[in-house]
Structure 1
Amino acid sequence: MQRSSSIAWRLALAFAAVCALVLSMIGVFLYRSLAGEIAYRDDLALMGRLEQVRALLQDSDSLDALQARPRLYQNMLGNQESLLLVRRADGSTVIGINPRQQRLPELQPIAQELRPQRRDILLWPGSDQVPVALLAGQASGPEGEVLTVIAGKILSEREQMLASYRLRLYLAVGLGALLAFALGLLLLRRGLQPLRQLSEAVREIDLRSLDRRLHSTGIPAEFREPVQALNAMLARLEESFQRLSQFSADLAHEIRTPLHNLLGSNGLALNQPRSAAEYQEVLASNMEEFERLGRMAENLLFLARAEQADAALDRQLLSLSAVGAQLCDYFEALADDRQIRLENGFYGELWADQQLLQRALGNLLANAVRHADPGSPISLRRRDEAGWCWLQVHNQGPAIAPEHLPRLFDRFYRVDPSRAEPGDSGGLGLAIVRSIMLLHGGQVRVASEGQTTVFELGFAVL
């Protein structure tokens, strides 16, 4: 099995992708929270520095004394990342601490009576593309002179810290995704172990063990429905195989009888000389057997075609009265031979395939004429139910025993095999009726009580 088509690999990759996405979102949240917290603290420190310088300038006796103590300001700043400028109104510098000689933009200082806010801080790209945070404000110097104080901080340390944190986040997300993939693949393979066991159990079932069923106890709940579906499929396969085996046996039995008759009659005809009339009698008998075999082959071909899933129907809106009249005319001669009266009680219209409907009703009428009592009537009737139209064939004659009713529509099944007559369907007539009704999505049923037998064809009415 290729890895690209493996469910375990696909789910493990999806699990890893989801974990990577979740870790990335958490990492972005933590990164932004850390960056915001660091920026907040830096801004507070910068605003505090401006306030300290303002207080220092206000408390100083003279500017010369302030200029004489540059180390004081350097110690106050604490590192090489900070800068401090104090300028007079004419632009001259009183205090200038700018370790990296950063080029500064023109700043609009806040009034000395206003306290600095975070919105007053300006982020400047800096000369070496390292951001610089700048804050400018007016201050009152000795003798009330108005000075401009510029406090700043080079953010290289912050950028390095955040870059290192980003790198750790990338590594954490990558390693987390790999770990999630490995663990997910391991867990999925363990979780799919019942599926492999199920495959092994299915692989051991062959034609000789179709009666075996898969165990549905002790398996995960997700596999119970597929197991039940497989067991149902095995039951259908077993039933179909049994029907096929029974059909093969019945077909061999049905074919054997006419073949034995042909072999016997031909053997007797060859054993001794016979007259032309006797040979004609043998040939006529053989023709009956050949016709019987031909009808059997034709019926089997029809059944095979009718049971195909893609068999097409030519549905038409039929007049049931006209269909019944045609059938009665066709079987009138056969019915007259037995003094049987045909009554057409069909009415209304029905969507159906005309040829198939006529064949189904014709098979039922042929059986009815063959088994009805002489002189009795055979009637065609219609009965409507909710959503169904039932076409009935009533005949009077010997009742069919209840044990035969469920098997009447099986292939080659006869209630009394000794009553097989020339021209019958070889035990396939009612099987053809059932196949035709299955094609129409309908039903077929039979009831036999007392001296009345009723065959019914049910069509769904939209």
Structure 2
Amino acid sequence: MIRRLTLTARLTFLYTLVSTLVLLGLGILVVWSTHLHFIDLDRDYLLDKVQLIQKIVDETPEPAELSAKLDESLNSHQGLFISLTRGDDLLFGTGGIAFPTELAARSAPDQPMDWADGERQLRGMSTELLEAQIPSVTTGPGQRLRLTLALDTHHHTHFMQTLRQQLILYVALASLLSGLLGWWAARSGLAPLRAMKERALKVTAHKLDERMPIDAVPVEMAELATSLNTMLERLQQDFAKLMEFSSDIAHELRTPISNLLTQTQVSLSQHRDPETYRDILASNAEEFQRLARMVSDMLFLAKTDHGIQLPNREDVTLEDEVKSLVDFYDAVAEDKELRLQVVGAGSVVGDRLMIRRAISNLLSNALRHAHPDTDIELTIVPELDGINLCVTNTGDTIEAADLPRLFDRFYRVDKARAHPSSDGAGLGLAITKAIMLAHGGSACVTSAAGTTRFCLHFPGPQIPRSLRATSNPPHTIASAA
């Protein structure tokens, strides 16, 4: 049931419960201490009467005078009942009550005993008087007198009952007041949470710049506010990327679809010969292939967002894969008057096809942007924490503001999205980064003074310094105009 209550109600309930328990404990302590105090007072009172009677017995020479003196001395004591006996003979008694037989058998005669006689509440004790000094009183040396006393505790009982009623009333009122104060304190203390709630309600898809107040909240909530602000910052960035991604998809799909639609409409506008139709269909097929590659790349990236498992794990020799790609791109490099160089060697564990695709994306990107009559260098460098594979080309320097976004989907440094030398959709570098993340590695880029370098880091075991200093001779393929 308490789980359904609000946090304010929970704190109020717990605070009231604790306050009530503390007040009840204090009330019980007061009642019990007062009760013990009355017992001590009654015991002292009864012991005082025992001493008084003992003194009267010692000073009275005749038994006839004893009863008169006791009656005279104790007549003014209301609520006091006395019985003085010798054996079975009653020497003096006030009467009116019945003393319990077990009172005389108590092992501690100075400890009062409580009992009820009708409507009366009594507290009494029984003791033997000291040996009488006058034989005429006890009718013989060595005889002892049994004195039994009882005190009516009605006034104590009435006081205790009144005290308990007052304490119960006080505890009830104090608990109610504690509940009200607890509710006020909880509501005031949780005011920052309500402020954070109001801020959170203002966050929408079109307004993600709201942030939680940090300086205006208690220290205990500052960490929560900071975490929420960090979450909102990530959401804002991811939402901006998603909006941009949607815009990029629409832009990339619009061009091939427009081409297909235009060519189809033109071809249907009038009758044409079979050769013309074949050319139009061939052109449409190229656009369909481009769309298919784009959709395939987008599906691959969508899988990586949810975590991708490597299809195959095997030992991959990087220099062999790089040399195979160099041979494949040899004709392209020759057409652009570029020279390809492979330096270094190393092996990693991963999926061969995915690693080859990542390297191919970097190499094709370097071929596209390198200046003619320059070198493109592919270096493999073992390090302590893995292996780095870098592709370096000489071309236009990439602005520092563009470097962090080069691996974003559909991002191009060319804002006009003109790519006359390539039919790519701007997903190659994003796929490369996704492949490296799937292998537990990373991808990075630097560009300065016309030199651009893309590096892939493959994690692996530590490599001894002697092996890191050793590299295979460069494998160079030169393509001249």
The amino acid of 1:302's aligned partner reads F
Mind listing any 5+ residue stretches in structure 1 that lack a counterpart? 111-117
The amino acid of 1:392's aligned partner reads L
Aligned to 1:292: 290
Aligned to 2:125: 134
Deviation (angstroms), 1:269: 3.0
The amino acid of 1:134's aligned partner reads M
**Aligned mates of 1:164, 1:231 — CA distance in 2:** 60
Aligned to 1:95: 92
Q: Is the 8 A contact 2:39 2:112 kept in 1?
A: no
Deviation (angstroms), 1:17: 0.7
Aligned to 1:161: 159
Q: Is the 8 A contact 1:121 1:135 kept in 2?
A: no
Deviation (angstroms), 1:130: 4.7
Q: 1:392 aligns to what SS in structure 2?
A: strand
Deviation (angstroms), 1:58: 0.6
Aligned to 1:121: 111
Aligned to 1:329: 324
Deviation (angstroms), 1:13: 0.5
Q: Given the alignment, which residue of 398, 401, 412 partners 1:401?
A: 398
Q: Is the 8 A contact 2:103 2:126 kept in 1?
A: no
Q: Is the 8 A contact 1:9 1:185 kept in 2?
A: yes
Aligned to 1:179: 177
**Aligned mates of 1:243, 1:349 — CA distance in 2:** 33
The amino acid of 1:432's aligned partner reads I
**Aligned mates of 1:109, 1:147 — CA distance in 2:** 16
Q: Given the alignment, which residue of 234, 244, 247 partners 1:246?
A: 244
**Aligned mates of 1:453, 1:212 — CA distance in 2:** 39
Post-superposition CA distance 1:52-77 (Å, at most 9, x none): 1111111112122112355325425x
State yes or no: 1:319 paired with 2:319: no
Mind listing any 5+ residue stretches in structure 2 that lack a counterpart? 139-143, 462-481
Aligned to 2:51: 51
Post-superposition CA distance 1:192-220 (Å, at most 9, x none): 44443443343234333333445545555
Deviation (angstroms), 1:136: 1.0
Rate the CA distance shift 1:415–1:192 in 2: closer, same or farther, 3 A: closer
Aligned to 1:453: 452
**Aligned mates of 1:142, 1:126 — CA distance in 2:** 36
TM-score by length of 2: 0.79
**Aligned mates of 1:35, 1:68 — CA distance in 2:** 35
Q: How does 1:2-151 map to 2 (within 5 A)?
A: 4-69=4-69, 71-75=71-75, 78-80=77-79, 82-88=80-86, 90-105=87-102, 107=104, 120-126=110-116, 130=121, 132-141=123-132, 143-144=134-135, 145=138, 146-151=144-149
**Aligned mates of 1:458, 1:152 — CA distance in 2:** 100
**Aligned mates of 1:143, 1:376 — CA distance in 2:** 139
Rate the CA distance shift 1:318–1:62 in 2: closer, same or farther, 3 A: farther
**Aligned mates of 1:315, 1:272 — CA distance in 2:** 51
Which 10-residue stretch deviates more, 6-15 or 275-284? Answer: 275-284
**RMSD of aligned Cα (Å):** 3.5
Q: Is the 8 A contact 1:324 1:346 kept in 2?
A: yes
Give the length in aligned residue pairs: 444
Deviation (angstroms), 1:264: 3.1
Deviation (angstroms), 1:315: 9.1
Post-superposition CA distance 1:279-308 (Å, at most 9, x none): 222212211111111111121222222223
Deviation (angstroms), 1:14: 0.7
TM-score by length of 1: 0.82
Deviation (angstroms), 1:19: 0.6
Q: Is the 8 A contact 1:133 1:155 kept in 2?
A: no
The amino acid of 1:391's aligned partner reads N
**Aligned mates of 1:104, 1:262 — CA distance in 2:** 120
Deviation (angstroms), 1:187: 3.5
Deviation (angstroms), 1:434: 2.6
Rate the CA distance shift 1:127–1:378 in 2: closer, same or farther, 3 A: same
**Aligned mates of 2:330, 2:303 — CA distance in 1:** 31
Q: How does 1:282-431 map to 2 (within 5 A)?
A: 282-308=280-306, 311-314=307-310, 318-321=314-317, 325-326=320-321, 328-329=323-324, 332-335=327-330, 337-338=332-333, 341=340, 343=342, 345-350=344-349, 356-371=354-369, 376=375, 378-385=377-384, 388-403=385-400, 404-416=402-414, 417-421=417-421, 424=424, 426-431=425-430
**Aligned mates of 2:378, 2:394 — CA distance in 1:** 13
The amino acid of 1:319's aligned partner reads D
**Aligned mates of 2:215, 2:205 — CA distance in 1:** 24
Q: Is the 8 A contact 2:392 2:451 kept in 1?
A: yes
The amino acid of 2:65's aligned partner reads A
Deviation (angstroms), 1:20: 0.8
Aligned to 1:255: 253
**Aligned mates of 2:347, 2:298 — CA distance in 1:** 33
Q: Is the 8 A contact 1:380 1:393 kept in 2?
A: yes
The amino acid of 2:198's aligned partner reads E
The amino acid of 1:94's aligned partner reads L
Rate the CA distance shift 1:378–1:267 in 2: closer, same or farther, 3 A: farther
